[in-house]
Amino acid sequence: MLAQRLDFPAGAPLLRRGRWLLERKLDGLRCLAVRDGDRVDLWSRNHLSFNRRFPGLVHAVASVPVDRFVLDGEVVAFDGDRTSFQLLQSGSAEPVLVVFDLLHLLGSDLRALALTERAGLLDRLMEGAPTQSLQRCERLNGDPAELMARACAEEWEGLVAKKAGSAYRSGRSADWRKLKCTARQELVIGGWTDPAGGRTGFGALLLGYYRGDELVYAGKVGTGFDESTLKDLQRRLAGSATHLTPFRDAPAVKGAHWVEPVLVAEIEFSEWTRDGRLRHPAYVGLRQDKDPRSVGRESLPTADG
């Protein structure tokens, strides 16, 4: 189940009508944890296995004193009180699976139950969980505007609001809403430019998003990389290089090289310009848990309006 974006503070009245549960928005990798007896499988959103990447989390899930369940959560790395996607990518901090939903338990499918009922069962299940590497996502109480102000002041990614009575349904749903402190989304890498000066690897990544079956050019990003990231990305880009542009509207960029659109990058930026380009973008990390074909432009205000 995926959340739809809700602009804030314009969307505040919606959250004051009816009953919503608020949680912290986590900056990590979405993960389904499946336990069936002695077998544990950790799956990404696009059904790639995380087992080899996070063996400690496999052990943590296997340590829960119930032997059949499916958890929904986010694999994160903490930098103090903040979650850091960069630390998670680099492997320089211990991963933690922060759990926020329970889909199956002891052979029973719970997805049709109200969120509050699933949450109560999850609380009981997590009582015996190893707290260092497997944690329950904290529920937040208070006025949405005040909680959003706190989230942004403490440099969280934002909040997630969920209808208390909602069932769990696959796909994006208005029953779950994400409220972001900064403009940030996934974009598909369609090429790169030559490095300049003393730069190694490449100069910038050429980015886009899908509109139907067409990859639409969204601009380029040349900041947010350290030396090891430049080398790693250049190796990946060289492996998928092609002579044909993947973009519907190929940009006239000097020194451009094209790649098959198979890599997805998380990008932080200030806003969209009126001609559909990113303003002040910065690279955050690769999203290997995302299918490139699922990447579309998220709704955000444009510059000057």
Per-residue pLDDT reduced to its tens digit, 50-105:
999 999 999 999 999 999 999 999 999 998 888 888 889 888 899 999 999 999 99
> Does pLDDT of 290 surpass 70?
yes
**pLDDT bracket for residue 143 (50, 70, 90):** confident
CB 256 within 8 A of CB 191: yes
Burial of 148 (0-12, 13-18, 19+ CB in 10 A): buried
**pLDDT bracket for residue 300 (50, 70, 90):** low
- Give the model's pLDDT for residue 92: 85
Q: What is the 3-state secondary structure (H, E, C) of the chain?
A: CEEEECCCCCCHHHHHCCCEEEEECCCCEEEEEEEECCEEEEECCCCCECCCCCHHHHHHHHCCCCCEEEEEEEEEEEECCEECHHHHHHCCCCEEEEEEEEEEECCEECCCCCHHHHHHHHHHHHCCCCCCCEEECCEECCCHHHHHHHHHHCCCCEEEEEECCCCCCCCEEEEEEEEECCEEEEEEEEEEECCCCCCCCCCCEEEEEEECCEEEEEEEECCCCCHHHHHHHHHHHHHCEECCCCECCCCCCCCEEEEEEEEEEEEEECEECCCCCEECCEEEEECCCCCHHHCCCCCCCECCC
CB 177 within 8 A of CB 115: no
Cα–Cα dist 217/103, whole Å: 38
Over range 44-55, report the average pLDDT.
94
> Does pLDDT of 305 surpass 70?
no
- Give the model's pLDDT for residue 57: 97
Over range 265-290, report the average pLDDT.
89
What are the boundaries of each domain within the chain? 2-180, 183-294
Query: Mean pLDDT lowest for which of 169-173, 181-185, 240-244?
Result: 181-185
Q: Computed from CA positions of residues 200, 267, 85, 146, in that sequence, does the dihedral angle turn out positive or negative?
A: positive
Tens of pLDDT, residues 17-29: 668 999 999 989 9
- Give the model's pLDDT for residue 18: 64
Mean pLDDT, rounded, of the chain: 91
Q: Which one of the listed residues 25, 163, 180, 220 is annotated catalytic?
A: 25
CATH architecture of 183-294: Beta Barrel (2.40)
Q: Mean pLDDT highest for which of 29-33, 131-135, 287-291?
A: 29-33
- Give the model's pLDDT for residue 180: 85
**pLDDT bracket for residue 303 (50, 70, 90):** very low
Distances in Å between the Cα of 167 and the Cα atoms of 107, 111, 138, 231, 281 are: 18, 6, 20, 44, 36
Of the two residues 184 and 247, the one the predictor is more confident about is 247
**pLDDT bracket for residue 108 (50, 70, 90):** very high
Is 163 a known active-site residue?
no
**pLDDT bracket for residue 293 (50, 70, 90):** very high
> Does pLDDT of 45 surpass 80?
yes
Q: Would you say domain 2-180 falls under CATH 3.30.470.30? A: yes
Cβ count near 152 (within 10 Å): 17
Taking the whole predicted model, whether its pTM rises above 0.85 is answered as no
To the nearest whole percent, how much of the chain has pLDDT over 90? 65
Cα–Cα dist 105/56, whole Å: 22
> Does pLDDT of 302 surpass 70?
no
- Give the model's pLDDT for residue 208: 97
